[in-house]
Amino acid sequence: MKREADEQGLIGALSTGDISPDQPAWHIASPQPLPAPYELKPMPSGTAGLEGEVIEVSIGPHHPSTHGVFRMDVVLDGERVLRLKPVFGYLHRNHEKLGEQGTYLSAMPFTDRLDYFCSLTNNWAYALAVEKLAGLNVPERAQYLRVITAELTRVLNHACMIGFLLQELGAMGTPLMYAFREREKILDLFEALTGSRMMCNYLRFGGCRCDLPPGWAEQCTRVVEGLPRFFDEFERLLATNEIIMARTQGIGVLPADLAISAGVSGPGLRASGVNYDVRKVDGYGIYPRFEFGVPLGEHGDVYDRYMMRMLEMRESVKILQQALRDLPTGPVIDPKAKLRNFRPPAGEAYGRLEAPKGELGFYLISDGGPSPYRYRIRPPSFINLTVLEDMCIGHTLMDAVAILGSVDIVMGEVDR
């Protein structure tokens, strides 16, 4: 009753003007200030000419622009990045120790879960290491199938990377859906061949798990023939867009000498003008038989890293057309390959290839037993992340999001 009387009195006083609206009533508690979601710190040394205090902000690990469970600790002066520390480890799944506990073959499905956009290239890199260790030969037809699935994977990855990058620049939906439209066609091929759309688990030591189903090569040829039209459409939409050019040109420059010293590989390295592609350097598989170019950038910025993906997809189509045209008949696995009770001789081997994100390598040590004595992975996403701070310092926070998108990471292979 007292509370109702107080409320009636307050309403009456406000209506007669006895209480000024900017003076709180005696029975209304003043709200307590909430703690700030950031931390103010003094300006660091070496920032002469700047005024005020810096803010340390934690972006992630559940922010949509961080590509998964990834966090960036950013020190800002206003919107300008002064320091940036990438923080990862939230998705660690003990992959390498699991590889040492099981048999050689049992690790093959785990490789699908590294870069889960590119499971077939993961399979191939692991198979290369084991085949070097055991001295296995791969039949001609299986070599062609490996190249075809790897280049389809490259197209799939690069198209989606561009879609995600544009999503982070603010183009919500349309470019990503264009990329996903083509991705679905490739995933249909993977599902028909392997039984799975993403975790394909198709390669085996000494070849491939099974041959092509009827009509697969013809359907693949139709998909490949339609890709240049998609590339033209995608490039017309994006390449000369004024907003994209303003947001990406001159942003996140990675000098060639820094890229080399940090071990960066893949399109990010070639965007800085370094002519290094493992398909050309090692000539693994049957890549020396195919004619294709290695696109190179001039500036090493976000725009060049975007264009590398566009140009590399066109080169992948050239490889696919040649491989589908020359696909031979024959077995798809080495008859000498022994999958059950597989025990390679004691020794060590490193197998690497040009995955869509860069150099992916597997290092194995065998003691002659059924399990690897040592099983280690060189994931390109992890290595390429080490220069993120160097590319972001001096740019704005919104530029840092675009720079991260241009690196093209998947946390499955960063944390493993």
Angle at 327 between CA 318 and CA 159, to 5 degrees: 35
| Matching CATH number, 95-415, of 1.10.645.10, 3.40.50.80, 3.40.190.80, 1.10.10.60 | 1.10.645.10
Pick from 412, 297, 290: nearest CA to 357: 412
Asked if 187 and 198 touch (Cβ cutoff 8 Å), the reply is yes
CA-closest candidate to residue 362, choices 132, 106, 109: 132
Q: Assess whether pLDDT exceeds 50 at residue 261.
A: yes
* CA–CA distances in Å: residue 364 to residues 131, 134, 270, 348, 386: 11, 11, 28, 6, 24
Q: 344 pLDDT exceeds 80?
A: yes
* Best mean pLDDT range from 28-37, 38-47, 144-153, 197-206: 144-153
Alpha carbon distances (Å) from 316 to 67, 127, 270, 290, 311: 25, 22, 16, 10, 9
Domains of the chain, by residue range, sit at 95-415
What DSSP line would sit under 145-161, residue for residue? HHHHHHHHHHHHHHHHH
Q: What helix, strand, coil percent values describe the chain, rounded to 5?
A: 50, 15, 40
The model's pTM is 0.84
Q: Mind listing the pLDDT tens digit for each residue in 45-77?
A: 555 555 558 899 888 777 666 677 888 899 998
- Tokens found for residue 50: 């700047």
